[in-house]
């Protein structure tokens, strides 16, 4: 039994890539058009803003937490940005203000979770609701269109559309932070074993606060990308994003239990996978409403695999009393009865 378990583990760990290839082949077989190169760049383009949110979400998930409020953060950022633009604020200033607003909302999460110690899903559920309300307050529930200069979503930088450039930059920075800075490695450590992290002297409060601020900032940045592509901020802006971001991260191999996952290739594959599934369903002319259901099933599959992997890992890590001693030290002992 142990052997099958040991073999299952690498399979589970490489699930993202396997899934990606499998689904790609599946959809291509079902509809030839899927295979086209144009489709591929379309996939990346549409998924850029969700991808940025998912990168931020990855940070949070790595510590074993969750951020349900990213959609609301996006709405607040969008509201501030759109309103300022409407009132004539120059573009850089409006964007900066929006980014600050969104990041501040992330700071609120950081405070509630790291300092006040409210559990993550509850805290972010609260900030999700309050945040949406705040956004509606700022926009007075209006649907606000943004001026032309903000609609730079189609512009290119060195031949690559801007949204993709920004996404790639975010992934690059996140990758560097997670893999090449002390904070990044400490985030992984804390997610793996919070007690050992405290014992080792890591500032777990600071690390927790950091990931939620990062998540807030990413959501804010994603908003800029989204608005540049969509051209307006409606009252349902950002709704449901948290789900897609969590799904992308978990599909990409990030564990809900913390300590496992990476932004590249992991979350990136997860994002592309989600978008690919969505695109594929559209090509196959699957009912729009059915798509959400399928997305939910996909997410369930992802978290199911995650929980399975965690159980297997726990079992393998259990300390064995009987170790194959091998030749040498310990002599075989005859039981004595008296």
Taking CB under 8 A as the criterion, which residues in 211-230 touch another protein? none
CB 315 within 8 A of CB 5: yes
CB 70 within 8 A of CB 245: yes
In the bound state with another protein, the residue whose beta carbon lies nearer, of 87 and 331, is: 331
The one among 42, 133, 157, 282 contacting another protein by CB under 8 A: 133
In the bound state with another protein, the residue whose beta carbon lies nearer, of 17 and 303, is: 303
CB 305 within 8 A of CB 298: no
Residue 165 binding another protein, by CB under 8 A:
no
CB 36 within 8 A of CB 184: no
With CA atoms as reference, report the closest residue to 139 among 62, 60, 85: 85
In the bound state with another protein, the residue whose beta carbon lies nearer, of 44 and 305, is: 305
Q: At what angle do helices 204-230 and 182-192 cross, to 10 degrees?
A: 110
- Of the candidate spans 151-159, 205-213, 275-283, 324-332, the one that interacts with another protein by CB under 8 A turns out to be 324-332
Of 43-102, binders to another protein (CB under 8 A) are 66
Residue 285 binding another protein, by CB under 8 A:
no
CB 295 within 8 A of CB 78: no
Closest approach, Cβ 76 to another protein, in A, equals: 11
Closest approach, Cβ 320 to another protein, in A, equals: 4
* First-to-last C-alpha distance (Å) of the chain: 38
The one among 6, 33, 115, 117 contacting another protein by CB under 8 A: 117
Q: Which residue in this structure is represented by tokens 């890591």?
A: 202
3-state secondary structure of 263: helix
Closest approach, Cβ 118 to another protein, in A, equals: 4
Residue 308 binding another protein, by CB under 8 A:
yes
């Amino acid at each position: 039994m142990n052997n099958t378990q040991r073999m299952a583990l690498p399979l589970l760990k490489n699930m993202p890539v396997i899934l990606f290839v499998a689904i790609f082949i599946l959809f291509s077989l079902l509809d030839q058009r899927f295979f086209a190169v144009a489709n591929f760049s379309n996939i990346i383009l549409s998924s850029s803003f969700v991808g940025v949110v998912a990168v931020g979400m990855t940070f949070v998930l790595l510590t074993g937490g969750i951020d349900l409020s990213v959609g609301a953060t996006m709405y607040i950022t969008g509201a501030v940005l759109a309103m300022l633009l409407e009132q004539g604020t120059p573009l850089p200033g409006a964007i900066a203000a929006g980014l600050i607003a969104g990041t501040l909302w992330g700071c609120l999460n950081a405070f509630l979770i790291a300092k006040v110690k409210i559990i993550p899903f509850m805290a972010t559920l609260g900030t999700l609701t309050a945040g949406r309300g705040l956004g509606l307050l700022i926009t007075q529930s209006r649907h606000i269109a943004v001026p032309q200069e903000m609609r730079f979503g189609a512009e290119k930088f060195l031949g690559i559309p801007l949204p993709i450039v920004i996404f790639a930059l975010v992934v690059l920075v996140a990758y560097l932070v997670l893999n090449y800075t002390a904070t990044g490695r400490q985030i992984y450590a804390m997610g793996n074993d919070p007690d050992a992290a405290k014992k080792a002297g890591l500032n777990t409060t600071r690390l927790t606060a950091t990931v939620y601020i990062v998540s807030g900032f990413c959501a804010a940045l994603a908003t800029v990308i989204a608005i540049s592509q969509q051209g307006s901020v409606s009252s349902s802006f950002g709704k449901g994003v948290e789900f897609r971001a969590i799904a992308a991260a978990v599909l990409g191999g990030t564990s809900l239990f913390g300590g496992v996952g990476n932004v590249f290739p992991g979350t990136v594959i997860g994002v592309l996978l989600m978008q690919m599934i969505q695109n594929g369903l559209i090509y196959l002319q699957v009912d729009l409403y059915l798509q959400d259901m399928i997305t939910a099933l996909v997410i369930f599959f992802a978290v199911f695999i995650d929980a399975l992997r965690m159980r297997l890992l726990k079992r393998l890590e259990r300390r064995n009393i009987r170790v194959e001693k091998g030749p040498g030290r310990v002599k075989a002992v005859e039981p004595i009865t008296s």
